[in-house]
Amino acid sequence: MTNIVEPSEKPSAEQPIEFFAAAKKVTDLAKSRETWPVAEVAALFELPFNDLMWRAQQVHRANWDANEVELATLLSIKTGGCPENCGYCPQSAHYDTGVKAEKMMAVDEVVAAAQAAKESGATRFCMGAAWRAPKDRDIEAVEEMVKAVKALGLETCATLGMLKDEQAKRLASAGLDYYNHNLDTAPEFYGEIITTRDYQDRLDTLGHVREAGLKVCCGGIVGMGESRMQRAGLIAQLANLNPYPDSVPINHLVAVEGTPLEFVRTIAVARITMPKARVRLSAGRRQLGEGVQALCYLAGANSIFYGDKLLVTGNPEVEEDRALLDRMGIHSRQG
């Protein structure tokens, strides 16, 4: 059963009486829920936009500081040449995207990048590698990176592809906090975007990660040609993981023109179905613009990937992010 943080017993100046009562009602309803059927998630997507946003805000404020955001930085420690054929990924060796395969970065280079991220205000540092699955010698190198980044006082996250159980345990022993492995989309649409591995492969890796004691970072992508029902299917898959992910990154596909308000709806539905997860704005933020990003924060997003580049994709400049957060009165999480 999902654990929900209770609202405080007395409303504060930030939570007027009428809001407090509504937020507590939503929290009480969520406490009695064990699973989210796809049909019920789809029903959330069909709500009038204002009603969906109101409901998402109630859940968000019952569980989080409504004006705080986590700043996370993602570094590609090994770029390009991935043997997987994910249709959305410019790092796949199956496509000519201009992204060249590179060797893994040295530990000192990674530490320098992590230090710069910390000085810019990031509290979580994620290291990504374009592998189908790491070899044991790769894990050894990443272990050293994790230890060095942890020594800076940052939370650590890695996304390295599929993991075996022993590899997950090694990363946990090195001090890794989070492991990212996205489901990408609903099971019934998965074969349309990748054929070199199946959905169960992803679920198996998530199981190894959780069994090793690592926190799970797992989300998906909006804008790959999926239907609204398939977006609901993705959120239901995430929400019904036991437990649901600690972090849920939602990506907006850069290569495909999407519907910005549908992206906001996805953020809101993720917040409602996974109240205690950090819902992260990830790839594609630059294309959304400030107005849509502001709606995403209102819908319950409370984490962003922060920096000039996200793997090989452009990301809003640090100064632009800071300016928008300042105008909205949103402060960054302190480490």
Yes or no: say if 99 and 312 are a contact pair by the CB < 8 Å rule.
Answer: yes
Residues 6+ apart with CB under 8 A from 172: 212, 213, 214
CA distance 244 to 239: 5
CA distance 240 to 263: 21
Active site residue 157: yes
46 secondary structure, DSSP code? T
The active-site residue, picked from 55, 82, 170, 231, is 82
CA distance 319 to 188: 40
**Can you read off the two tokens belonging to residue 315?**
């990301």
CA distance 265 to 7: 24
| CA 129, chain centre distance (Å) | 16
Active site residue 218: no
Active site residue 86: yes
The active-site residue, picked from 218, 280, 285, 296, is 280
Q: Is the peptide bond before 187 cis (omega within 30 degrees of 0)?
A: no
The active-site residue, picked from 86, 202, 231, 278, is 86
The active-site residue, picked from 157, 197, 218, 271, is 157
The active-site residue, picked from 55, 124, 126, 218, is 126
Active site residue 126: yes
The active-site residue, picked from 61, 217, 265, 285, is 217
CA distance 120 to 111: 14
Active site residue 280: yes
The active-site residue, picked from 55, 61, 89, 231, is 89
Angle at 244 between CA 90 and CA 267, to 5 degrees: 60
DSSP 148-182: HHHTTT-EEEEE-S---HHHHHHHHHHT--EEE--
Give the residue numbers marked as catalytic: 82, 86, 89, 126, 157, 217, 280
